[in-house]
Amino acid sequence: MSAPDESDGDLAGGRIAQTPPLRWVLVSGRRWVVVLLASITVYLTLLGFAALSPVPLRGLMGETPTGPLFQAMIIAVVTGVTLVVTIGQLVLSQELGTAGTKHEHMEEALSYQESVEELIDPDVSSMESADFLRELIAAAGDRAADVDRAASDVRDDALRDRIEEYAAALERDAAAVADAIDDARSSTFRVVLAALHFDYNEQLHAARRLRRSADGDLPGRIDGGLDDLVETLSYVGSAREHVKTLYFQAELIRLARDVVYTGIPALLVSAGMVIYGAALPEFTGQPLGIDVIVWLVSAAVTVAVVPFLVLLAFILRIVTITQLTLAIGPIKLQETRQPDDG
């Protein structure tokens, strides 16, 4: 199965990192490209250590053989693979249950979907998570347009301007994010990334503040419109969390699979270095002016750490997206706006 297209990180860029390179490493870059670049960095770093060492590696082979190093690598790889497979099993365990439990979950899902349909559209909503989320965000934009049109009934000029400004901004954001989700529907990751740009937390908080500042002195049409808007935004939040959960489950399963795939060659190379490492001094030559032993040992160490690099690349993205979406509702942590501020 091919990896999803992960090249579009601009929508939520300002909320993910201050610099495009860091944003690419944390979130938007393809995970296997990140792993490849990290592996090349490890390999070149090891070659650099050899160039800076006052004693050549060949001279150290007798005092510090590679066997103990790769024995520790084997233990680390086995432990890491076991840990990641256990995480994958925990994710899969959430899909297990009795027929009664599954039926209850099905009833809850149908009840939620019917509530959404009553709010936004009498027709049956889409079964695709991307389309469902896009429909909700577009409905929030429609509710904002209704509020904007009803704002003319407000007698207070200052309050009317605030309502119109709020509704127009929300309508623009909803339209942009709905279009972005439609373009990103082929990848759950890109759907989640696009949805991050729609800050329903602040929109929900602002709508409630507008109602409170009016002190009950809003015309019935706009008061009802704000009620519908708040309810729609609450459904947007829960729908985004659902799509995010589906993405995390798929990503953790993919992580477990890829760590197992890379763990097998890492174990084989480490075992080979333990068994045949004593024969390394028999290799002679200096390609590009670097001892062949340095090339071989550096390559073996790099292959041995690839499972860890895979784990690091996936976990960095998962925890970054989690940090951006820690809160549900109008209350959230300040760190969710700029996670790289420390």
320-333 residue pLDDT tens: 888 777 666 556 65
Q: Which residue has the tokens 């990334």?
A: 193
Confidence of residue 90 (pLDDT cuts 50, 70, 90): confident
User: For the segment 10-53, what is each residue's pLDDT rounded down to a tens digit?
Assistant: 444 445 545 778 888 888 888 899 999 999 999 999 888 777 66
Q: How far apart are CA 114 and CA 155, in angstroms?
A: 37
Confidence of residue 336 (pLDDT cuts 50, 70, 90): very low
Please tell me the predicted confidence (pLDDT) of residue 214: 66
Please tell me the predicted confidence (pLDDT) of residue 198: 82
- pLDDT > 70 in the chain, percent: 76
Contact in structure between 310 and 258 (CB atoms under 8 Å): yes
Q: How far apart are CA 199 and CA 212, in angstroms?
A: 20
Q: Compare 304 and 288 and report the one with higher pLDDT.
A: 304
Does residue 278 have a pLDDT over 60? yes
Confidence of residue 69 (pLDDT cuts 50, 70, 90): confident
Q: Degrees (nearest 5) of the Cα angle 121, 125, 130?
A: 120
One-letter amino acid of 311: L
For the segment 85-106, the average pLDDT, to the nearest whole number, is 70
End-to-end CA distance of the chain: 37
Q: CA dist 23 to 56, 185, 191, 244, 340, Å?
A: 39, 21, 17, 19, 10
Q: Compare 215 and 51 and report the one with higher pLDDT.
A: 51
For the segment 276-293, the average pLDDT, to the nearest whole number, is 73
Please tell me the predicted confidence (pLDDT) of residue 338: 43
Does residue 4 have a pLDDT over 50? no
Per DSSP, the three-state class of 152 is: helix
Confidence of residue 289 (pLDDT cuts 50, 70, 90): confident
Please tell me the predicted confidence (pLDDT) of residue 50: 75
Highest mean pLDDT among 89-98, 122-131, 149-158: 149-158
Please tell me the predicted confidence (pLDDT) of residue 8: 45
Q: How far apart are CA 188 and CA 109, in angstroms?
A: 19
Q: Compare 255 and 288 and report the one with higher pLDDT.
A: 255
Please tell me the predicted confidence (pLDDT) of residue 57: 62
Contact in structure between 317 and 27 (CB atoms under 8 Å): yes
Q: How far apart are CA 76 and CA 267, in angstroms?
A: 10
Q: pTM for this one?
A: 0.76
Structure tokens at 341: 């501020």
Q: Compare 53 and 146 and report the one with higher pLDDT.
A: 146
Please tell me the predicted confidence (pLDDT) of residue 7: 44
Residue 247: name the closest of 133, 171, 145 by CA: 133
Contact in structure between 342 and 18 (CB atoms under 8 Å): no
Contact in structure between 239 and 170 (CB atoms under 8 Å): no
Please tell me the predicted confidence (pLDDT) of residue 313: 92
Q: CA dist 68 to 71, 297, 300, Å?
A: 5, 13, 14
Q: How far apart are CA 321 and CA 193, in angstroms?
A: 8
Does residue 270 have a pLDDT over 50? yes
Q: Residue 76, exposed/middle/buried by CB under 10 A (0-12, 13-18, 19+)?
A: middle
Please tell me the predicted confidence (pLDDT) of residue 340: 40
Q: How far apart are CA 288 and CA 274, in angstroms?
A: 27
Please tell me the predicted confidence (pLDDT) of residue 296: 85
Q: What is the mean pLDDT of the chain?
A: 77
